[in-house]
Structure 1
């Protein structure tokens, strides 16, 4: 009986680990350097924002579906901030498609 319980719990834990999304490794310093030009303040701000976003992703990685992570990584452009925005948008309760999608206008 104890062995069956341990095996069942082990299977549950391992299946949850297998479903956790892997966070990609972006070259944050290179991206922030490119974005900031010669501005040290912009570089520091970029690093801070990317670090905050990465930390949030790391904390919720176990609850992110790997398919969502792959989809969002494809469009993130090596930015954890963009990746986090996509993941949050894709997993929000109001992520249902609109019957009237918004359009852009130059008027």
Structure 2
């Protein structure tokens, strides 16, 4: 059965519409080890925040504009590993700025 004949819930996700793949474990290890000593508490909190951000992004990613997806992916990857929390924050700030800019005009 080809993708064209598959029920909608079983069709493969378009790669452009899929949330980018980062390595949260490696990222959180790096954060937990920052400053020379390793903190299990920091890693635990980091993993919780990364999972929560990823779960929230999954529900809205395909509805975001390609411009926001591409820009925020670049921002989230800054420094190398990628962070879902940074990605989510970028998306939220871009959406908020776009909403404010719709009615924004310079006042003389």
TM-score for the superposition, normalised by structure 1: 0.67
Contact 1:21/1:65 (<8 A) preserved: no
SS, match of residue 74 in structure 1 = helix
TM-score, length-scaled by structure 2 = 0.66
Structure 2 match to 1:54: 54
CA offset digits 1:5-37 (Å, max 9, x no partner): xxxxxxxxxxxx86x732110011001001101
Distance 1:47 1:53 in 2: 10
- Structure 1 vs Structure 2 CA RMSD: 2.2
Secondary structure of 2:22 counterpart: coil
Give secondary structure in 2 for the equivalent of 1:25: coil
Structure 2 unpaired stretches of 5+: 1-12
Structure 2 SS opposite 1:23: coil
DSSP 3-state at the match of 1:76: helix
Aligned partner of 2:17 among 14, 21, 24: 21
Which residue does 1:85 correspond to in 2?
A: 89
Q: Structure 1: where are the runs of 5+ without partners? A: 1-16, 100-107
User: 3-state DSSP class of the match of 1:94?
Assistant: helix
Structure 2 CA distance, aligned partners of 1:72 and 1:98?
26
Query: For residue 41 of structure 2, what is the aligned residue in structure 1?
Result: 41
Aligned residues between the structures: 82
